[in-house]
């Protein structure tokens, strides 16, 4: 059986059988089950497919929320323009270094064929001849078996991701493949202009590509029928922390934080805050849990939906202590390449530890604010910026805790 | 003072904070707690590129040439 139908003109607009989108087929779906659920993958004409993706409004689900079609269009344009002859490369990024996220792992385990559909569709849309799929070690076996099921996936090269927080950053992905060095690189040109081996390179998160696989079948209008008007569709979220049922759930992009907690069996009343967007994210206090998880609504907290990480902090925990542990982890994940990060993050981690344990809390908080202003915007990648986003957010959202710690108290209910 | 069409790009992965650039471009570049250069103007969230004034381009060229670890590059504004 082949996944690609011969009819290039198959109409767009059919809807899939079930309500859930990405995980609509059964758990650990075989190719046969996948095709039964979604139908065969139509071959879309490249320019029409790019237009459909633009109309869909699909944004990247890896964290940065960049419009998916724009990266693809930029690479296609580079390839046809002055750098003619350099055929584009497509890299599906399933390296999930974020400790609070396992949505890509769940997706690759249960719906690898949808990811492959999206890869083939995107590769065709930009004329990519090299197509790579980078996944964590745990997913290799499952993905290998899925690729072996389908002849149209023969050209896909499977690559194992490094096991570190920053190895999923796009330039680190390219560096790992090209130089076996999974650290971010200094960039003065976009990857879509000059990426892997100097060729126009598109790095897309695997969930983004799974959505592309659906849009190829059902079209932009169907995609936009759920979610926020300016950032439509659904996204996978990983809900962790003080909730009854931790796990990965698919939600419309305009779901509120309360609704995300509800699917994890929590009602938010026993929480003090939630970390949105992961270790590089920001805290939203529980009084604002009615906020939709959209880019526009989260902006006032300095947060963005990112890769769909929601970590709930019960009101028996100290937000400063939790943040201190995360900052210490992030300081340990510096690639030791860029001075401001290599020296700044461990210094900030030590200051945050002092703040969390209540030693010279006021002085440490002031120093954290100064160091954040000093280090931000000064690195080859956004690891320092993401860490500073978290620090600034904690100082703001847990301001009353900072005050209490300075007076030798802590506001949290004892466990 | 007129703005040039050039930016001075800092490759943080190469820079090890010797500080020559901050001496040559005093007023535009400072140094942080550990000696690494700090762009003193523009958007604080984007301090990998220093937007050069017209009267700073020659000094920037000198800084590029003298940086002992080749961490500086002169680029056209708007790149990257």
pLDDT above 90: residue A251: yes
DSSP assignment, residue A59? B
Confidence (pLDDT) at A267:
86
Contacts of A187 in chain B (CB under 8 A): 80
pLDDT digits (tens, 9 = 90+) for A50-85: 999 999 999 999 988 899 999 999 999 888 876 566
Strand partners of residue A205: A93
Determine the residue among A377, A385, A386 to mutate to test chain B binding: the one whose Cβ has the most chain B Cβ atoms within 10 Å.
Answer: A377
Residue B33 and residue A347: Cβ atoms within 8 Å?
Answer: yes
- d(Cα A102, Cα A176) in Å, to the nearest integer? 21
Q: Does B33 touch chain A (CB under 8 A)?
A: yes
**Among A229, A237, A295, residue whose Cα is nearest residue A263:** A237
Give the A:B interface size as CB pairs under 8 Å. 70
Name every residue in A having a CB less than 8 A away from some CB of B. 184-190, 337-341, 343-344, 347, 371, 373-380, 385
Helix then strand count (H, E) for chain A reads 15, 9
End-to-end CA gap in chain B: 25
Whether A11 has a pLDDT exceeding 90, the answer reads no
User: Domain tally for chain B?
Assistant: 1
- Residue A376 and residue A368: Cα distance in Å, rounded? 12
Strands A247-252 and A271-276: unpaired
**CATH assignment of A319-406?**
1.20.1440.230
Contact B41/B51 with Cβ under 8 angstroms? yes
List, for residues A355-370, the tens digit of each pLDDT value: 999 999 999 999 999 9
Residue B34 has pLDDT above 90, yes or no: yes
Topology annotation, domain A22-225 = Rossmann fold (3.40.50)
What residue numbers bound the domain in which B29 lies?
3-76
Confidence of residue A10 (pLDDT cuts 50, 70, 90): very low
Give residues with Cβ within 8 angstroms of A306, minimum separation 6. Answer: A63, A65, A276, A277, A278, A280, A281
Residue with tokens 């992965």: B13
Q: How many alpha carbons fall within 13 Å on the CB side of residue A182? A: 19
A318 confidence band (pLDDT: 50, 70, 90): very high
Alpha carbons A382 and A220: distance in angstroms, whole number: 32
Q: How far is B40 from chain A (nearest CA, A)?
A: 10
Contact B75, B9 (CB under 8 A): yes
Q: Which of A319, A315, A310, A312 is nearest to A255 (CA)?
A: A310
The arrangement of strands across the sheet holding A201-205 comes to A156-160, A130-135, A89-94, A201-205
- Return the pLDDT at A8: 41
Q: What is the DSSP letter of A42?
A: P
Q: Which residues in chain A touch residue B80, judged by CB atoms under 8 angstroms apart?
A: 187-190
Q: Which helix (H) or strand (E) holds A110?
A: helix A103-110
What is the pLDDT, as a whole number, of residue A4? 41
Buried b (16+ CB within 10 A) or exposed e, A224-238: bebbbeebbbbbbbb
Question: Rounded distance, CA A103 to CA A83, Å?
Answer: 37
Q: What is the mean pLDDT of chain A?
A: 92
Q: Is B80 on the interface with A (CB under 8 A)?
A: yes
Side-chain half-sphere CA neighbours of A240 within 13 A = 15
Distance from CA of B53 to the nearest CA of A (A): 20
Q: Is the pLDDT of residue A289 over 70?
A: yes
A341 contact residues in B (CB cutoff 8 A): 12
Give A-chain residues touching B73 at CB under 8 angstroms.
188
Model pLDDT, residue A415: 56
pLDDT band at B79 (very low <50, low <70, confident <90, very high): very low
Which residues from chain A sit within 8 angstroms of residue B43, using beta carbons? 377
At residue B14, the 3 state secondary structure works out as coil
**Burial (CB count within 10 angstroms: exposed 0-12, middle 13-18, buried 19+), residue A299:** exposed
Residues counted in chain B:
80
Q: Are A240 and A312 in contact (CB under 8 A)?
A: yes
Could you tell me the residue ranges of all domains in chain A?
A: 22-225, 228-314, 319-406
Question: Using a CB cutoff of 8 Å and minimum separation of 24, what contacts does A102-106 make?
Answer: A102/A238, A102/A248, A103/A207, A103/A236, A103/A237, A103/A238, A103/A248, A103/A307, A103/A308, A104/A135, A104/A205, A104/A206, A104/A207, A104/A307, A105/A136, A105/A138, A105/A139, A106/A23, A106/A236, A106/A248
Residue-level pLDDT at A306: 85
- A362's enclosing H/E stretch is helix A361-375
Q: How far apart are CA A333 and CA A282, in angstroms?
A: 18
Q: How far apart are CA A184 and CA A203, in angstroms?
A: 14
Cross-strand bridge partners of residue A241: A312
Q: How confident is the model at residue A256 (pLDDT cuts 50, 70, 90)?
A: very high
Q: Encoding tokens for residue A248?
A: 């990965």
* ipTM for the complex shown: 0.94
Contact A224, A56 (CB under 8 A): yes
- CA B38 vs CA B32, B41, B51, B53: distances in Å: 6, 9, 13, 16
Q: Which residue has the higher pLDDT, B47 or A26?
A: B47
Encoding tokens for residue A144?
Answer: 């290998």
**Domain A228-314, CATH number (from 3.40.1710.10, 3.10.20.600, 3.30.365.10, 3.30.360.10):** 3.10.20.600
Residue A93 in this model has a pLDDT that exceeds 50: yes
Tell me phi and psi for residue A359, to 5 degrees: -100, 120
- Reduced to 3 states, what is the DSSP secondary structure of residue A88? coil
Domains A22-225 and A319-406 share a fold: no
**Percent of chain A residues topping a pLDDT of 70:** 94
Helices (H), A225-313: 257-263, 295-298
Question: What pLDDT, on a 0 to 100 scale, did the predictor assign at position A16?
Answer: 44
Lowest mean pLDDT among A29-38, A75-84, A138-147, B33-42: A75-84
Where is pLDDT greater, at A13 or A64? Answer: A64
Ranking A68-82, A100-114, A299-313 by mean pLDDT, the lowest is: A68-82
Asked if B12 lies within 8 A of A186 by C-beta distance, the reply is yes
State the CATH number of the domain containing residue B28.
Answer: 3.30.70.20
Q: What is the pLDDT of residues A195-220, one digit of tens each?
A: 999 999 999 999 999 999 999 999 99
CA distance B18 to chain A (A): 11
Pairing label, strands B3-10, B37-39: unpaired
Which residues touch A36 (CB under 8 Å, ≥6 apart)? A25
């Amino acid at each position: 059986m082949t996944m690609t139908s011969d009819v290039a003109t198959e109409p767009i607009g059919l809807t899939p059988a079930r309500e859930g989108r990405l995980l609509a087929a059964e758990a650990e779906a075989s190719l046969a089950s996948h095709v039964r659920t979604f139908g065969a993958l139509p071959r879309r004409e490249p320019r029409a497919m790019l237009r459909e993706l633009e109309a869909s409004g699909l944004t990247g689900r890896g964290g940065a929320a960049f419009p998916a079609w724009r990266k693809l269009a930029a690479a296609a344009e580079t390839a046809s323009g002055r750098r003619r002859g350099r055929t584009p490369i497509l890299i599906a990024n399933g390296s999930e270094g974020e400790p609070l996220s396992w949505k890509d792992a769940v997706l690759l385990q249960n719906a690898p064929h949808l990811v492959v559909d999206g890869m083939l569709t995107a590769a065709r849309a930009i004329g990519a001849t090299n197509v790579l799929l980078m996944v964590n070690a745990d997913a290799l076996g499952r993905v290998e078996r899925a690729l072996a099921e389908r002849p149209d996936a023969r050209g896909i090269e499977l690559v194992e991701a490094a096991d570190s927080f920053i190895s999923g950053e796009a330039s680190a992905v390219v560096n790992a493949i090209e130089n076996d060095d999974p650290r971010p690189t200094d960039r003065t040109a976009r990857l879509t202009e000059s990426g892997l081996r100097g060729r126009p390179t598109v790095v897309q998160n695997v969930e983004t590509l799974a959505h592309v696989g659906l849009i190829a079948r059902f079209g932009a209008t169907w995609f936009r029928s759920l979610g926020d008007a300016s950032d439509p569709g659904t996204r996978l979220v990983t809900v962790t922390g003080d909730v009854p049922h931790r796990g990965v759930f698919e939600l419309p992009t305009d779901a509120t934080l309360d609704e995300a907690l509800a699917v994890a069996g929590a009602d938010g009343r026993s929480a003090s805050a939630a970390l949105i967007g992961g270790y590089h994210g920001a805290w939203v206090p529980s009084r604002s849990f009615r906020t939709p998880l959209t880019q526009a609504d989260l902006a006032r907290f300095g947060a963005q939906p990112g890769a769909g990480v929601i970590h709930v902090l019960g009101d028996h925990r100290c937000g400063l202590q939790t943040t201190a542990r995360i900052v210490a982890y992030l300081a340990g994940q510096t690639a030791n390449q860029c001075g401001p990060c290599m020296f700044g993050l461990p210094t900030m981690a030590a200051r945050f530890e002092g703040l969390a344990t209540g030693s010279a809390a006021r002085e440490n908080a002031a120093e954290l604010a100064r160091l954040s202003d000093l280090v931000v915007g000064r690195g080859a990648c956004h690891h320092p910026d993401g860490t500073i986003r978290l620090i600034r957010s904690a100082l703001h959202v847990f301001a009353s805790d900072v005050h209490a710690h300075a007076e030798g108290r802590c506001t949290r209910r004892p466990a | 003072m007129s703005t040039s069409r050039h930016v001075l790009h800092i490759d943080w992965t190469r820079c090890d904070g010797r500080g020559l650039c901050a001496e040559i471009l005093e007023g535009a570049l400072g140094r942080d707690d550990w000696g690494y250069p700090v762009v003193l103007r523009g958007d604080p969230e984007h301090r990998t590129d220093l937007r050069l004034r017209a009267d700073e381009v020659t000094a920037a060229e000198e800084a590029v040439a003298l940086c002992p670890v080749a961490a500086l590059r002169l680029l056209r504004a708007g790149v990257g």
